[in-house]
Chain A
Amino acid sequence: MEKIAFLFTGQGAQYVGMGKTFYDEYEVARQTFEEANDVLGFDLTKICFEGSLGELSKPENIQPALLTVSVAAYRVYMKEIGIAPHFYAGHSLGEYAALTCSGAIRFSDAVKIVRERGLLTKQIMESDIGAMTIIDGIDSKLVEEECKKISTEQQFVSINCYNSPLQVAVAGHKEAVELLEEKVLEMDGNVTPLFRNAPFHSPLMQDTAEKLKGYLDQITFFPFRNAVISNPTALPFGDYGTIADKLAVQMVKPVKWQKTMQFLKKYGVTLAIEMGPKNVLCNLVKGNTPEIDAFCFGQREDRNILFDRLNQNEMLKKHVPTVITKCLAVAVSTPNKNWDNEEYRKNVVEPYANIQKMQEELDEQGALPTKEQMIEALEMLRTVLQTKKVPVQEQIEWFHHIFEETATYYEFKDFDILQENKFEKVT
């Protein structure tokens, strides 16, 4: 059986023009870019598609830019293929896109968070104390040893990304990083210094992590639709109430990508789909778990292969939800707290039966629902949830997931349950 994981790239995957094909060809991608522009208050699209790589790569630009391209890619996939993954994992900054696509963070909030994270990164870079370098061709144990030898209390360097058996990244104080680079070259390894990059995932980011935590504490998080594997632990996030803490920890702890790939392999993943502009993580799949097939949805040839492979898989396609099948599923799977039989019959049993009948007819015709039918189903679900006395925050969560999972978020942006509460934190 096909078991899918979605992978989301971090910094380093960018190029000018990234995401443009999606933008030109798919409405949902355009809407995603436009939402990001609105949230940011400036034209992110222009920075992505025109101008210099230097401008795009500024931390305050690249972080929202990569998030937006990744989420746009994901939404195009959900619209065109729709087969949900079993797992999500994002490398470094990519973790924010993974969380967004799993439903745990609203896209507009994620844009705000990574913009803030980018501005905080900029401060660190202006202080110019840290550096980061990719190291290829040397075993991580040896790199660890060399880091220990070089580091003092005032000047230190440590591994900040365990990418694959033969690739790690290191970060720390500039002088210490350069000393390590020399050592690596002596040992016949290769180095790729990342210029104008912060010493992410190292103790030098401690202050930044604390400031970021203050920002994250104001965000409303949602339950996950499927597990997201966390960078510092290489295990699923677990309780969504801990996301803010874990994202703050992620700033100062190494990314365990090698272990993340091992985790996905252990749980039977057969297909990894990189939701980003370039096949950076696909290369790491080859280096870690060559038995897992990897394709980059941002690249046309790969995308066509995925369209063929997945859209012809009737077993999996059968389970792709629509707004109506989701509404029916949620209506029956939420517990009831209303013991007024008459009210229950009138506001739960009957409306449910009507929509069920509608779905049966659609099944017979092999047709997809119209927008009017979707609205009918959504209204049925709202009545059912209210009658069952499901808490308001939980109702909001259900609708949030239905729209995200069926890639209909922009079509139902004005749906009133989202409007009245505007998703504000219920305290």
Chain B
Amino acid sequence: MEIAQKVSGFLTRFFRKYELGRDEDIFSLGFVNSLFATQLIMFLEKEFDITVEPEDMDLNNFRTINAIVEFVERKKVAINN
């Protein structure tokens, strides 16, 4: 399964009926609270076998599905090199 689908699958549990666009700002919709970010990062680390470093903790890395996909790809490239 491609990264975007897995991330969408995770987010569905928070949004359920809302059809979230790939470039839509997750944080501006008002669906998530401050504990969401912790849950998202734990999911990404486990699902894609990456480590989110303190310097990665920039909201822009996680703002949209596309941003998350790009971030995960970047991390995976870094691991493989």
Binding site for B on A (CB under 8 A): 12, 14-17, 51-54, 57, 134, 136, 181-182, 185, 190-196, 280, 283
Contact = CB atoms under 8 A, between A and B. Distances in A.
A51 B54 CA distance: 9
Given A16-B52, A52-B45, 9 more contacts: A12-B35, A12-B38, A15-B54, A15-B57, A181-B13, A191-B13, A191-B14, A193-B39, A283-B34
Nearest to A49: B54
A53 B39 CA distance: 10
Q: A-B pairs with the 8 shortest C-beta distances?
A: A52-B51, A54-B45, A185-B16, A17-B54, A52-B45, A53-B41, A12-B35, A192-B35
Given A192-B14, A192-B33, A14 B38 contact: yes
Contacts, number: 57
Given A54-B42, A194-B39, A134 B33 contact: yes
B42 A136 contact: no
B39 A280 contact: no
B17 interface: yes
A192 B57 contact: no
Contact of B52 (A52, A134, A185): A52
Contacts of A52: 45, 51-52
Nearest to A194: B39
A53 B47 CA distance: 13
Interface of B: 13-17, 30-36, 38-39, 41-43, 45-46, 51-54, 57
Nearest to B41: A53
Given A17-B54, A52-B45, A136 B39 contact: no
Nearest to B10: A195
Contacts of A181: 13, 16
Contacts of B35: 12, 134, 192, 194
A15 B42 CA distance: 11
Contacts of A191: 13-14
Given A134-B33, A280-B34, A196 B42 contact: yes
15 contacts: A16-B54, A17-B54, A54-B45, A54-B46, A134-B33, A136-B33, A181-B16, A185-B16, A190-B30, A190-B33, A191-B14, A192-B33, A192-B35, A192-B39, A195-B43
Nearest to A134: B35
Contacts of B32: 190, 192
B22 to A, nearest CB: 21
Contacts of A193: 13-14, 39
Contacts of B30: 190
B39 A185 contact: no
Greatest chain B CB density within 10 A among A51, A53, A136, A185 is at: A53
A98 to B, nearest CB: 21
B14 to A, nearest CB: 6
Nearest to A53: B41
A53 B33 contact: no
Contacts of A185: 15-17
A182 B38 contact: no
Contacts of A134: 33, 35
Greatest chain A CB density within 10 A among B14, B35, B46, B53 is at: B35
A148 to B, nearest CB: 22
Contacts of B33: 134, 136, 190, 192
B31 A53 contact: no
A332 to B, nearest CB: 49
Greatest chain B CB density within 10 A among A134, A191, A194, A280 is at: A191
B38 A15 contact: yes
A53 B41 CA distance: 7
Contacts of B57: 15
Contacts of B53: 16
A196 B43 CA distance: 10
A79 to B, nearest CB: 26
Greatest chain A CB density within 10 A among B16, B32, B42, B43 is at: B42
Nearest to B37: A15
Nearest to A18: B54
B14 A53 contact: no
Nearest to B46: A54
A262 B47 CA distance: 41
B14 A57 contact: no
Given A181-B13, A192-B14, A51 B51 contact: yes
Given A185-B16, A185-B17, A190-B32, A195 B51 contact: no
Contacts of B42: 53-54, 57, 195-196
A190 B38 contact: no
A193 B9 CA distance: 13
A195 B39 contact: yes
A195 to B, nearest CB: 6
